[in-house]
C-alpha cells in the first residue's frame, strides 16, 4: 500500500490534534490539551480503486514557546496549515509557517480554516483573503467538532497525491 | 561499576543501543531495561540486534539526522525532540532519542521522558490558555474600538448615530460604555450591566457602571487626574471589590474620541472580566514557584521568601533537612517509590509545623524550613525533634513493605549566625553536611568553630582577590633530576603567597579556597604566564629546562584555557617544548573528554603532559592507554616507605613497568633518602624529585643551582 507522510502545522490551539482525532477516530473532545513534540497517527483512505495510508504527523503548535522545525517536514508528501477562524492572528501565523515550510519543500500545501462551527472573527479584506488562497493547492473550511469537511479534506488530499 | 551504571541508566529510564549498521538502522540493545521499552519493541531482546523500522516512523526519520552524527570523526550528539508513541495496549509513551558519537562508538539512547513531558505539558497548557484568552480579548476590543470610533467621527446626525451605536454596542460580548465628555450621559450595553451587577440589599441604589469604573480608576490609578486633564487613553487592570462577595479583575480600556480641535467629545470604555485569566496567570506564577512533585514551594520561591524574612529583620531559624541514604533508597525501591516517599515526607513535615513556618523543597532530597517565633536554640531543637518524631514512624511502599528513613538537619539563626541569604544557606548546608556523616537522625546547629572555619574561608577568599590584584604571588621551582644523567632537566613550578602580614602561605591553605571560589582561573592564568616568563628567562641563559605547572579541575574545565596558554607562549616567545602540564588522576577520570581535548591540543604544539599524584586516585589504567600522556609522577606516599614496605615496593615496580610498556616516563616524588634513590635507580625510574636534592626554591636560587651544576 502506498504510504504518505502528511504534516499538520499551525499556531498553537488551532485544532490540529482535534482534526486528526476526528479523522482517525471520529471523536472530538471539548477539552483543550496542548500537544508536546510530535505524535504520529495512521489512517488508510480508500478511494474507488486504490488505498493510501496516511502517516499524520501532528506537531506541537508554533508560538513563543515552540519554534517551527523544518526538519520534521522531511519526506512529507503534503502539509496542512491549520488556522482558527475565531482568531485572526492564527492566519498570519499560518502564513508565516507556510513561508518557512516552502523553503524546504515544494510538496502540496493545504490551508484549512478550522472551527467553522464558531462565529468567525476575521475581518480581513477580501483581496487579502484571495492572496492567501493562491498560496495553497487546496483550501477547506472545517470543524473538528462537527466533523464538517474533515473526511472530505483528507480524501481530496489523497486524490491529489495519487493524481500527482 | 557496570552494574551501578546500569542502575543509573534504568533509573533515568534510558535504553542504550549501539548502532551496528548505520544504513539499515540495525542496533544492539546494550544497556538499560524497562517494561516501557518492551512495549515499544516487543520483539527485541537485551544484547541482541534489531532493526528500527516503520513501526516507529518518528525514530526511523530521526536516523537520517543521526547518521550524520555517527559518521562524524569527532565526538558529537544530537537530540530528536519529544515524540509520543502508542503501545499495543494504547498507552502513550513520551520519548526522546539521542544520537551519540563517542570514541568511535555510534550510540542511540532512547529515553522515556514521562516526567519531562508532563512538566512541559502542564506549563505550556497554562501558558497557552492565557495567551489564547488575551488574544481573544485583544482582538474583540480592537475591532470594536475601530468601529466605534469610525461611527462617532461621522458627521453629526444624532438619531442615526445613536441607532448604529446602540446596535454595535449591544452585540458586543463585553461591557461597552460610550459617554459624553463629562461622563454625564452614557450608553451602556447589557454586558456592562451584567458585569457591574450589585447586590442591592447593601446599596439602596446601585452605582452606575461608569461611576464604578471612575471610582476604581481614581482610587487605584495615581495617573487618573493626568489622564483626564490631558485627554489621554489608558488601558490596564483594576480590581473591583464590592462586599460581601464581589471580587472581580477587570481589564479596562479607556479611549477619548476627539474632534478636529482636539477636544474630547466622547469617551469609549471597554471592560472585560479577566478574573479567570488572572487565576490562570496566578496558577502559572505558582507553577514557577512550586515544586511539581510535592506541590511545596520550590527553591526559587524559598529564596524569595528567605529574602523577605531578612528584609523584615525578625529573628528566625533556618533549617536544612537532608534525607540520609536517599539515593540508596531510590536504587533499592525504584524512583516511583522515591517520589512517593518525598510526597509523604513533605506532608509529614508540614503537619509538624506551625502555620507561620515556611517549608520548601530545595533540592532532590533536601527541604528547607523557616521557623518563625522561636525564642532560642533549645526551643528550636524541640521543634526539630518534633519533626523527626513525625518522620520516625515507618513509611510504606506500594507493596506495603515498611521502611524507615533518617534526616540530617542543619540549623542556623538569623541574625546571630548570618545576616545574608547566601551566608545562611551556606551555613545550614554546612551544618547538615556535618551531621550527615553520622548517617542517622542528627541535628547540627551552626557552631562557633564551623563559623570560624567558614569566616576564615570567606576572609581568605577576599584576601586572595586582593593578592591577585597586588601581585602577591611568587613561583618557586623544585628541581627534577634525570636519573641517567644525574642532572636537572626539569622543574615543577609551585605557587607561594607572600602574604603582607602572615608571610609565606602554603598552597594547601589557599588553593582549595581558590578552587571553590573560582579564583583559581585568575590564579592559574598568573601561574601560566609567569611559568612562560621563567622558561624564557632560563632559555635565554642557556638552560633548556622544562617547567611543569599544575592544573586544577576547574582550569581543565575552562574552555578558554588552551587559548590562554597559546597566547602566553606567543607573547613570551617561549618554545612549548619547555612547558609541561600536570594534571591529577581525578581530573582525567572525572572529565575525560574535556581533559583529552586539552591535553591533545597541548601536545600538538609540543608541550608534554604528566599525571600528578599517580596511585592516590582512581588508578584506572584504562585512561592511561587512551590519553595523550608523557609522564607519570608516583605519589610521595608510595616513596616514603619504599625501603621498608614490600607492598609499596611492589606497587612502585609495577607502576614503572606498566608505564614503560605504555612508553611513559616515570618521575618519583618525595625522594628524601639515598636508600629510596637507590631503589628507584635499580628499578629504572626515569627521574626523581624531592628534598634529597632540593626543596622548592626561588627562581634566582634555581638559576644559581643550574649554574653550579654546569660548573661541576
CA-CA-CA-CA dihedral for B368, B372, B376, B378, to nearest 10:
-60
**Among candidate residues B589, B582, B557, the one with its CA nearest the CA of residue B495:** B582
Residue B157 has pLDDT above 70, yes or no: no
Does B160 score more than 70 pLDDT?
no
Q: In this structure, is residue B454 part of a structural domain?
A: no
Of the segments B6-15, B343-352, B646-655, which one has the largest average pLDDT value? Answer: B343-352
Measured CA angle at B457 (ends B451, B459), to 5 deg: 100
Using a CB–CB cutoff of 8 Å, tell me whether A86 touches chain B.
yes
Q: How confident is the model at residue A81 (pLDDT cuts 50, 70, 90)?
A: very high
* Cβ-defined contact of B124 to A75 (cutoff 8 Å): no
Q: Which residues contact B450 (CB under 8 A, 6 or more apart)?
A: B427, B430, B431, B434
**Pair B298, B367 in one domain:** yes
In the structure, what pLDDT confidence band is assigned to residue B149 with cuts at 50, 70 and 90? confident
Res B359: pLDDT: 96
Pairwise CA distance, residues A45 & B557, whole Å: 56
Tell me which residues of chain A, numbers 94 to 123, contact chain B at a CB-CB cutoff of 8 Å.
121, 123
Q: Pick from B280, B312, B333: which residue ends a domain?
A: B280
The residue out of B112, B135, B152 marking a domain boundary is B112
Q: Give the pLDDT confidence of B199-239 residue by residue, as tens digits.
A: 665 556 778 899 999 999 888 776 677 678 777 777 777 88
Return the CATH number at B25. Answer: 3.30.450
Residue B453 lies in a domain: no
Contacts of A69 in chain B (CB under 8 A): 81
Interface test with A, best of B61, B67, B80 (most A CBs within 10 A): B61
Closest Cα in chain B, distance from residue A53 (Å): 12
Res. B162: pLDDT tops 70: no
Tell me the average pLDDT of chain B: 85
Confidence of residue B28 (pLDDT cuts 50, 70, 90): very high
Q: Which helix (H) or strand (E) covers residue B369, if one does? A: strand B366-371
| pLDDT value for A128 | 62
% of chain B exceeding 70 in pLDDT = 90
Give residue B119's pLDDT band: very low, low, confident or very high (50, 70, 90).
Answer: confident
Residue of A nearest to B125 (CA): A34
Q: Who contacts B489 (Cβ-Cβ below 8 Å, separation ≥6)?
A: B480, B481, B482, B545, B546, B687
Residues in B closer than 8 angstroms to A121, CB to CB, are 139-140, 143
| The C-alpha cell that represents B99 in the structure block | 544520537
Total structural domains within chain B: 4
In this structure, are B41 and B86 located in the same domain? yes
Predicted TM-score (pTM) of this structure? 0.48
Do B494 and B402 fall within a single domain? no
Same domain, B108 and B127: no
Top-tier CATH class for A2-163:
alpha beta
B671 and B542 in a single domain? The answer is yes
Distance CA B162, CA B151 (A): 9
Facing residue for A38 by CB, picked from B83, B125, B139: B83
B492 and B562 belong to one structural domain: yes
User: Cα–Cα distance between A68 and B112 in angstroms, integer?
Assistant: 23
Q: How far is A37 from chain B (nearest CA, A)?
A: 5
CB contact under 8 A, B83 and A87: no
Residues in B touching A86 (Cβ below 8 Å): 136
Instruction: Locate the chain B residue with the closest alpha carbon to A123.
Output: B143
Q: Are strands A109-114 and A76-84 parallel, antiparallel or unpaired?
A: parallel
Mutate which: A17, A21, A36, vs B, most B CBs within 10 A: A36
Cβ–Cβ below 8 Å for A89 and B117: no
Identify whether residues B73 and B140 lie together within a single domain: no
Domain presence at residue B632:
yes
| Cα(B349)–Cα(B346) distance, integer angstroms | 5
For range A61-79, the mean pLDDT: 88
Q: How far is B273 from chain A, CA to nearest CA, in Å?
A: 19
Report which of B237, B220, B312 is spatially closest to residue B271, judged by C-alpha positions: B237
- Residue B33, number of CB atoms within 10 A of its CB: 13
Select from B96, B47, B98, B52 the least CA-distant residue to B75: B98
CA angle A67, A73, A79 (to 5 degrees): 100
* pLDDT computed for residue B442 by the predictor: 83
Judged by CB atoms closer than 8 Å, whether chains meet at A37 and B131 is answered as no
In this structure, is residue B459 part of a structural domain?
no
**pLDDT at residue B283 in the model:** 66
Q: What is the pLDDT of residue B204?
A: 61
For the sheet containing B264-273, what is the strand order? B186-188, B175-180, B264-273, B246-258, B234-242
- Tell me the C-alpha distance between B611 and A104, whole Å: 51
CATH number for the domain spanning B232: value is 3.30.450.20
B118 — contact with chain A (CB < 8 Å)? no
Pick B82's closest partner by Cβ from A36, A65, A87: A36
B621 CB within 8 Å of a chain A CB: no
Q: Nearest C-alpha of chain A: how many angstroms from B56?
A: 9
Residue A54: closest CA among chain B residues belongs to which residue? B57
Asked if residue B382 and residue B272 are part of one domain, the reply reads no
* Interface residue B94 vs chain A (CB under 8 A): yes
| Complex ipTM more than 0.90, yes or no | yes
- B287 assigned to some structural domain: no
Distances (CA, A) of B683 to A5, B321, B634, B679, B691: 70, 54, 13, 6, 20
Position B340 pLDDT exceeds 90 = no
B121 interaction partners in chain A (CB closer than 8 Å): 33-34, 36
Interface check for B84 against chain A (CB to CB < 8 A): the answer is: yes
Residue A64 banded pLDDT, cuts 50, 70, 90: low
Q: Give the pLDDT confidence score for residue B287 in this predicted structure.
A: 59
Residues in Cβ contact with B64 at an 8 Å cutoff, skipping those fewer than 6 apart: A74
Q: What's the rounded Cα separation, in Å, for the pair B371 and B127?
A: 34
Is residue B569 located within the same domain as residue B693?
Answer: yes
Q: Say which CATH number the domain at B511 has.
A: 3.20.20.450
Q: What is the pLDDT of residues B494-503, one digit of tens each?
A: 999 999 998 9
Residue B360 in any domain: the answer is yes
Last residue of a domain, one of B392, B417, B446: B446
A85, closest residue in chain B (CA to CA) = B136
* B394 plus B490 within the same structural domain: no
pLDDT tens per residue, range B278-301: 776 666 666 567 776 788 887 778
Q: b/e map of A7-20 (b: 16 or more CB within 10 Å)?
A: bbbbbbbbbbbbbb
Shortest Cα–Cα distance, B685 to chain A (Å): 58
Same domain for B557 and B587: yes
- Domain-located, residue B709: no
B143-150 contacts, C-beta under 8 A, 24 or more apart: B143/A121, B143/A123, B144/B168, B144/B172, B144/B176, B144/B270, B145/B253, B145/B255, B145/B268, B145/B270, B148/B176, B148/B178, B148/B257, B148/B268, B149/B255, B149/B257, B149/B268
Nearest CA in chain B to A3: B54
Interface test with B, best of A34, A43, A59, A64 (most B CBs within 10 A): A34
Asked if B112 and B97 touch (Cβ cutoff 8 Å), the reply is no
A54–chain B nearest CA distance, Å: 12
What is the span of the domain harbouring residue B181? 121-280
Mutate to test the interface with A, among B55, B82, B90 (most CBs of A within 10 A): B82
How does pLDDT run across B521-578, given as a tens digit for each residue?
Answer: 889 999 999 999 999 999 999 999 999 999 988 888 888 899 999 999 999 999 999 9
Q: Please tell me the distance from the alpha carbon of residue A118 to that of residue A132, in angstroms, as a whole number.
A: 21
- Is residue B455 one of the residues assigned to a domain? no
The reported pLDDT for the residue numbered B645 is: 83
CA distance A146 to B447: 71
CATH (domain of B375): 3.30.70.270
∠ CA B387-B388-B392, nearest 5°, is: 125
Which chain A residues touch B84 with a CB distance below 8 Å?
A: 36-39
**Residue B156 CB burial class (10 angstroms; 0-12, 13-18, ≥19):** exposed
What's residue A123's pLDDT? 52
- Whether residue B11 is found in the same domain as residue B87: yes
Amino acid at each position: 500500500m502506498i504510504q504518505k507522510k502528511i504534516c499538520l502545522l499551525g499556531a498553537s490551539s488551532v485544532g490540529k490534534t482535534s482534526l486528526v482525532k476526528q479523522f482517525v477516530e471520529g471523536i472530538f473532545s471539548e477539552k483543550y490539551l496542548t500537544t508536546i513534540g510530535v505524535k504520529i497517527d495512521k489512517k488508510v483512505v480508500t478511494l474507488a480503486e486504490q488505498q493510501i495510508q496516511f502517516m499524520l504527523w501532528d506537531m506541537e503548535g508554533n508560538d513563543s514557546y515552540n519554534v517551527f522545525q523544518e526538519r520534521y517536514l522531511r519526506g512529507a508528501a503534503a502539509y496542512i496549515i491549520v488556522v482558527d477562524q475565531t482568531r485572526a492572528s492564527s492566519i498570519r501565523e499560518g502564513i508565516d509557517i507556510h513561508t518557512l515550510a516552502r523553503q524546504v519543500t515544494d510538496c502540496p500545501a493545504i490551508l484549512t480554516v478550522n472551527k467553522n462551527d464558531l462565529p468567525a472573527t476575521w475581518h480581513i479584506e477580501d483581496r487579502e483573503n484571495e492572496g492567501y488562497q493562491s498560496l495553497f493547492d487546496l483550501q477547506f473550511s472545517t470543524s473538528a467538532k462537527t466533523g464538517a469537511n474533515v473526511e472530505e479534506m483528507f480524501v481530496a488530499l489523497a486524490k491529489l497525491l495519487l493524481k500527482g | 561499576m557496570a552494574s551501578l551504571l546500569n542502575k543509573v541508566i534504568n533509573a533515568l529510564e534510558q535504553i542504550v543501543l549501539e548502532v551496528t549498521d548505520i544504513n539499515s538502522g540495525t542496533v544492539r540493545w546494550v544497556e538499560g531495561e524497562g517494561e516501557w521499552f518492551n512495549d515499544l519493541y516487543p520483539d527485541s531482546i537485551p544484547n541482541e540486534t534489531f532493526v528500527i523500522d516503520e513501526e516507529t516512523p518518528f525514530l526511523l526519520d530521526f536516523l537520517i539526522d543521526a547518521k550524520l552524527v555517527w559518521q562524524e570523526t569527532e565526538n558529537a550528539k544530537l537530540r530528536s525532540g519529544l515524540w509520543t508513541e502508542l503501545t499495543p495496549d494504547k498507552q502513550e509513551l513520551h520519548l526522546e532519542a539521542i544520537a551519540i558519537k563517542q570514541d568511535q562508538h555510534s550510540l542511540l539512547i532512547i529515553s522515556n521522558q514521562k516526567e519531562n513531558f508532563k512538566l512541559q505539558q502542564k506549563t505550556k497548557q497554562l501558558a497557552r490558555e492565557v495567551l489564547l484568552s488575551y488574544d481573544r480579548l485583544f482582538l474583540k476590543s480592537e475591532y470594536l474600538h475601530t468601529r466605534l470610533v469610525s461611527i462617532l467621527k461621522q458627521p453629526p446626525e444624532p438619531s442615526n448615530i445613536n441607532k448604529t451605536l446602540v446596535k454595535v454596542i449591544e452585540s458586543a460580548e463585553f461591557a461597552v460604555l460610550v459617554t459624553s465628555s463629562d461622563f454625564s450621559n452614557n450608553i451602556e450595553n447589557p454586558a456592562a450591566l451584567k458585569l457591574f451587577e450589585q447586590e442591592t440589599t447593601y446599596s439602596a441604589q446601585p452605582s452606575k457602571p461608569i461611576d464604578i469604573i471612575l471610582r476604581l480608576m481614581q482610587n487605584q490609578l495615581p495617573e487618573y487626574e493626568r489622564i483626564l486633564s490631558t485627554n489621554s487613553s489608558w488601558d490596564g487592570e483594576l480590581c473591583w471589590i464590592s462586599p460581601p462577595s464581589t471580587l472581580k479583575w477587570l481589564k479596562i480600556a479607556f479611549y477619548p474620541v476627539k474632534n478636529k480641535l482636539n477636544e474630547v467629545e466622547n469617551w469609549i470604555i471597554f471592560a472585560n472580566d479577566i478574573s479567570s485569566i488572572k487565576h490562570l496567570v496566578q496558577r502559572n506564577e505558582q507553577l514557577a514557584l512550586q515544586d511539581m512533585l510535592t506541590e511545596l514551594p520550590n527553591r526559587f520561591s524559598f529564596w524569595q521568601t528567605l529574602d523577605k524574612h531578612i528584609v523584615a529583620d525578625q529573628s528566625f531559624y533556618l533549617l536544612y533537612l537532608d534525607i540520609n541514604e536517599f539515593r540508596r533508597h531510590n536504587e533499592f525501591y525504584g524512583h516511583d517509590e522515591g517520589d512517593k516517599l518525598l510526597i509523604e515526607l513533605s506532608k509529614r513535615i508540614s503537619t509538624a509545623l506551625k502555620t507561620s513556618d515556611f517549608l520548601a523543597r530545595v533540592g532532590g532530597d533536601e527541604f528547607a524550613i523557616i521557623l518563625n517565633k522561636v525564642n532560642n536554640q533549645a526551643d528550636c531543637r524541640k521543634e526539630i525533634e518534633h519533626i523527626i518524631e513525625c518522620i520516625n514512624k515507618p513509611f510504606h511502599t506500594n507493596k506495603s513493605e515498611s521502611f524507615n528513613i533518617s534526616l540530617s538537619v542543619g540549623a542556623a539563626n538569623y541574625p546571630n549566625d548570618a545576616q545574608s541569604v547566601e551566608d545562611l544557606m551556606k551555613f545550614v548546608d554546612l551544618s547538615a553536611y556535618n551531621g550527615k556523616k553520622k548517617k542517622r537522625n542528627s541535628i547540627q546547629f551552626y557552631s562557633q568553630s564551623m563559623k570560624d572555619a567558614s569566616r576564615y574561608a570567606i576572609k581568605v577568599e577576599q584576601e586572595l582577590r586582593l593578592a591577585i590584584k597586588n601581585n602577591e604571588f611568587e613561583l618557586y621551582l623544585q628541581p627534577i633530576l634525570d636519573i641517567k644523567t644525574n642532572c636537572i632537566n626539569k622543574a615543577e613550578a609551585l605557587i607561594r603567597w607572600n602574604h603582607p602580614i602572615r608571610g609565606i602561605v602554603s598552597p594547601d591553605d589557599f588553593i582549595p579556597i581558590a578552587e571553590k571560589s573560582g579564583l583559581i582561573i585568575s590564579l592559574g592564568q598568573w601561574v601560566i604566564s609567569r611559568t612562560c616568563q621563567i622558561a624564557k628567562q632560563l632559555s635565554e641563559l642557556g638552560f633548556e629546562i622544562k617547567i611543569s605547572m599544575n592544573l586544577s579541575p576547574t582550569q581543565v574545565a575552562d574552555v578558554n584555557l588552551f587559548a590562554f596558554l597559546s597566547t602566553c607562549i606567543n607573547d613570551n616567545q617561549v618554545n612549548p617544548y619547555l612547558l609541561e602540564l600536570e594534571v591529577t588522576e581525578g581530573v582525567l577520570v572525572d572529565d575525560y573528554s574535556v581533559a583529552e581535548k586539552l591535553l591533545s591540543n597541548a601536545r600538538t604544539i609540543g608541550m608534554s603532559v604528566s599525571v600528578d599524584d599517580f596511585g592516590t586516585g582512581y588508578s584506572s589504567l584504562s585512561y592511561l592507554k587512551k590519553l595523550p600522556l608523557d609522564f607519570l609522577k608516583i605519589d610521595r606516599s608510595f616513596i616514603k616507605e619504599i625501603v621498608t614496605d614490600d607492598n609499596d615496593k611492589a606497587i612502585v615496580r609495577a607502576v614503572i613497568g606498566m608505564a614503560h610498556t605504555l612508553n611513559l616516563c616515570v618521575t618519583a616524588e618525595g625522594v628524601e633518602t639515598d636508600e629510596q634513590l637507590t631503589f628507584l635507580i635499580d628499578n629504572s625510574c626515569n627521574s626523581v624529585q624531592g628534598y634529597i636534592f632540593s626543596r622548592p626554591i626561588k627562581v634566582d636560587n634555581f638559576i644559581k643551582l643550574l649554574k653550579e651544576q654546569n660548573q661541576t
